[in-house]
Structure formats: C-alpha cells, structure tokens
Amino acid sequence: MSPDFTRFESETGITFKDKKILREAFTHRSYLNESKEKGLLHNERLEFLGDAVLELVSTDFLFKKYPNEPEGTLTAYRAGLVNANILSGIALDLHLGEMLLLSKGEAKDIGKARQYILANTIESVIGAIYLDQGYDVAADFIAKHILIHTEEVVGKGLWQDAKSLFQEKAQEQYGITPSYKVLEETGPDHDKQFKIGVYLGEKLMGDGIGRSKQDAEQMAAKNVLENHEWKTGRK
C-alpha cells in the first residue's frame, strides 16, 4: 500500500504542483531494488539540493541573528542545528517515517540507521519544496521546523564540538583519552556508511553512524555525552 503523501501536505500547508517530486523525496534507494514500478527515482539528488538550501538558509539566519559572533562560532552553531539528531527528531514530528518508501530490510531497521535515513529525508524534502515551490517557501519550512530550535541548541551548548568536549570530560573525570574504532562499514563505495565505537580504555562507551569516519566519531561522542548527561556535570 502506497503511503499517503497528502498527509505531509496537510500538516505543512504546502500543496505540491508536481506530486512526483514529493514522492521522489520519500523514495529511498533501497526501495528501487524491490519495486517493479518503472521510472522511479530515489531521493539522493533531492537530498543533495536540499542540503545546500538548508545550509544557505541557516547560514543567513545565524549571520543576522548573531552579528558579533566570529565565523568559527557560527559554523559550529550551524553544525549543531542541522545534525542528524535534530533533523531526525523533526522528521519524526512530521511523521515522515510513516511515508518513507523503503526496502523490506530497511523498513525493519528502527535503530540509528533509520535515524540517519530520516535526517536525509528532511533534506530531500527541502530540496523538493525548493524545486516545486521556490526558495521562499523552502525557507519558511526551514524556519518553522528547524531554525525554531536555535535557542535550545545555542543555549544548551549542543553546538560544541562533541569529540573535543567528550575528551575534555573523560580526561577530567577518568584521566583517560577516548579512542575510536570502526565497528561496521556498509554500502557501496560511493555511499559508504560507518559505524564507529568510542572507548575509554577497553570499555565501549557508545557508538555513532555517519557517512564519513569523522562524522561517525562526532556522532559517537555526542551520543555518549547525551546518554551520560556529562554536559550538566552528572555521570
């Protein structure tokens, strides 16, 4: 049974002129391997476009909101605002997971890999909105659903470099420098996905998933920080 994409339109107030673009935004690459439908396109090109639109809109917003902050701080704010945790949470709020077209195998995965797919779907949806409705509508969508989290991200320090912060906390509390190891590597060469574990000594503290080893390491450190609540000084 095909998902009801009109639910997305009704919940966001955005009515697509080209329904095929909206469907494409929700079509994961894995779905094409099992579907017999002809002419289907997966959402990776839209994701590429949406990522660029999101970066421009969020950069413009932060540049104006924080006129006295240097480039490095604004970059860190932006990274904290558009990371996989934030974007996947927004995707869940918008029920995007219920509309995704996935292979049977991907559909069964409800762990961190799904979180990553949901974050990518937000970007592909933004790309679709931009193509179908134009920049202003895409910017309004980003402002309403993503930029609204700016105060929380900045106020709670969620923008800070997770690896650096975790290393500081680990050395302060345990006298140990964290180490990172690749736990799993999946996907074709052009679309690799890494699962990396972060260790204190021999103890696995947590893991993270990313398209690069660097992204996965950041996600692993961030997950440990949040799970252990070290940002507030509690273990």
Continuous segment of H or E residues that includes residue 106: helix 104-108
**Is 51 designated active site?**
yes
Residues 9, 51, 161, 226: which is the catalytic one?
Answer: 51
19 CA to centre of own chain: 24
- How far does the chain reach from its first CA to its final CA, in angstroms? 46
Tell me how far apart the alpha carbons of residues 42 and 63 are, in angstroms, rounded to a whole number.
33
**Is 168 designated active site?**
no
Q: CB under 8 Å to 213, separation ≥6 — which residues?
A: 180, 182, 194, 196
Q: What does the DSSP 8-state code read for residue 95?
A: T
Block residue for tokens 């949406």: 50
Residues 44, 123, 215, 217: which is the catalytic one?
Answer: 123
In three-state secondary structure terms, 235 is: coil
Neighbours of 187 (CB within 10 A): 11
Kindly list the catalytic residues: 51, 123
